């Protein structure tokens, strides 16, 4: 009896389906394993000792954060650059701050992000720029952090360490770069991340008005709760406003209540619940 060409033809399809089911099963098994395996005791000690907001969260929020951290560490790859040996504690601190932004958000953990590159200190970013007359030039800038929409975040460790040591000064490079990651998940970073709870109309109105106000205050050198780097463009405004929202929530709420409300709806949390009051 001859083999049926129809059945042989189905073999590649069966193989593809089999591999797909196997990968799916493996992912589910891995996710379950992550959920049931507690974070090691020394990691919890590091969170308690080095991440100021962790200890201030209520127990349920701490548990949610630990689960997200475990998933983050399992899914993303860290690379030490320029000779930096990246330790477990360094990875944990970066993961904890990144996961604070998505503490109450559903879904995957920064699905577009694959790697975090960490330099010991300020790094030089070289860019090819095209001028209006068509000539190309290479510019270089010193940076503390950078977020790419190709799945990379780059950080300077000394800036990360400074940011986590003082979680009330409104400056935090990890919060900043991961806010860019959230923003660019809409396609490109433009100050409008995908919104599920906010009305787009209110978001656009409030964010635009606050951005324009910051630009004016920056030009006139007036004091402002949000760092004037946020006046660079709408994407930087969202990232810098995020730093202020998490690190100086009481003052942001007092000075810019509508902006605070939009960010609170977006992040689905209110950092005033755990943040100590800032100095007046
Ligand atoms: Zn930025």
What confidence score (pLDDT) does residue 31 get? Answer: 73
Would you list the DSSP string of 53-100? HHHHS-HHHHHHHHHHHHHHHHH-EEEE-TT----HHHHHHHHHHHHH
Helix, strand, or coil here: 140? Answer: strand
Distance 190 CA to ligand 1 centre (A): 11
Distance 20 CA to ligand 1 centre (A): 38
- Whether residue 210 contacts residue 256, with contact meaning beta carbons closer than 8 Å, is answered with yes
CA 113 – CA 93 distance, rounded (Å): 17
Closest-CA residue to 164 (of 51, 65, 241, 249): 51
Distance 226 CA to ligand 1 centre (A): 13
Q: The dihedral of CA 46, 51, 52, 55: what is its sign?
A: negative
Sheet holding 115-119, edge to edge: 77-80, 115-119, 152-156, 145-148
- Whether residue 199 contacts residue 174, with contact meaning beta carbons closer than 8 Å, is answered with no
Distance 80 CA to ligand 1 centre (A): 21
Mean pLDDT of 55-62: 96
What confidence score (pLDDT) does residue 216 get? Answer: 97
Distance 41 CA to ligand 1 centre (A): 34
**Cα 134 from chain centroid?**
35
Distance 261 CA to ligand 1 centre (A): 22
Helix, strand, or coil here: 130? Answer: strand
Give residue 184's pLDDT band: very low, low, confident or very high (50, 70, 90): very high
Give residue 11's pLDDT band: very low, low, confident or very high (50, 70, 90): confident
Distance 160 CA to ligand 1 centre (A): 14
Residue-wise pLDDT for 133-151, tens only, equals 777 777 777 888 989 888 9
Closest-CA residue to 239 (of 180, 155, 169): 180
- Whether residue 89 contacts residue 50, with contact meaning beta carbons closer than 8 Å, is answered with yes
DSSP structural state of residue 230: G
Closest-CA residue to 167 (of 245, 273, 239): 245
Distance 173 CA to ligand 1 centre (A): 9
Place of tokens 């953990």: 109
Contacts 24+ apart (CB under 8 A), 38-44: 38/66, 39/66, 39/69, 39/70, 43/88, 43/92
Catalogue all structural domains in the chain, each as residue range(s) with its CATH number.
190-280 (3.40.390.10)
**What spatial distance separates the first Cα and last Cα of the chain, rounded to whole Å?**
90
Distance 55 CA to ligand 1 centre (A): 28
Give residue 15's pLDDT band: very low, low, confident or very high (50, 70, 90): confident
Q: Are strands 115-119 and 152-156 parallel, antiparallel or unpaired?
A: parallel
| pLDDT for residue 79 is more than 90 | yes
Distance 144 CA to ligand 1 centre (A): 10
Residue-wise pLDDT for 113-131, tens only, equals 999 999 999 888 777 776 7
Show Cβ contacts of residue 11 under 8 Å, excluding neighbours closer than 6 positions: none
Q: Which residues, in sequence order, are bridge partners of residue 139? A: 127
Distance 19 CA to ligand 1 centre (A): 40
Distance 280 CA to ligand 1 centre (A): 27
């Amino acid at each position: 009896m001859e083999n049926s060409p129809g059945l042989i033809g189905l073999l590649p399809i069966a193989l593809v389906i089999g591999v797909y089911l196997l990968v799916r099963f493996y992912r589910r098994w891995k996710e379950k394993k992550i959920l049931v395996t507690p974070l090691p005791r020394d990691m919890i000690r590091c969170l308690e000792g080095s991440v100021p907001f962790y200890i201030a969260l209520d127990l349920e929020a701490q548990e949610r954060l630990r689960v997200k951290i475990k998933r983050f560490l399992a899914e993303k790859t860290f690379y030490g650059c320029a000779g930096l040996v990246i330790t477990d504690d360094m990875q944990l601190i970066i993961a904890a701050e990144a996961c604070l932004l998505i503490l109450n958000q559903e879904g995957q953990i920064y699905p577009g992000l694959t790697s975090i590159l960490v330099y010991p200190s300020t790094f030089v970013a070289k860019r090819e720029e095209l001028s209006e007359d068509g000539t190309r030039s290479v510019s270089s800038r010193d940076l503390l952090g950078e977020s790419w929409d190709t799945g990379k975040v780059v950080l300077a460790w000394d800036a990360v360490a400074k940011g986590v040591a003082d979680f009330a000064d409104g400056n935090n490079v990890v919060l900043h770069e991961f806010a860019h990651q959230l923003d660019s998940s809409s396609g490109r970073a433009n100050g409008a991340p995908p919104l599920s709870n906010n009305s787009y109309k209110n978001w656009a109105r409030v964010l635009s008005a606050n951005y324009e106000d910051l630009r004016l205050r920056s030009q006139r050198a007036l004091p402002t709760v949000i760092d004037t780097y946020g006046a660079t463009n709408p994407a930087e405004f969202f990232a810098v406003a995020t730093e202020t929202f998490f690190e100086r929530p009481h003052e942001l709420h007092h000075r810019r209540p509508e902006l605070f409300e939009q960010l609170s709806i977006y992040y689905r949390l209110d950092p005033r619940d755990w943040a100590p009051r800032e100095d007046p």
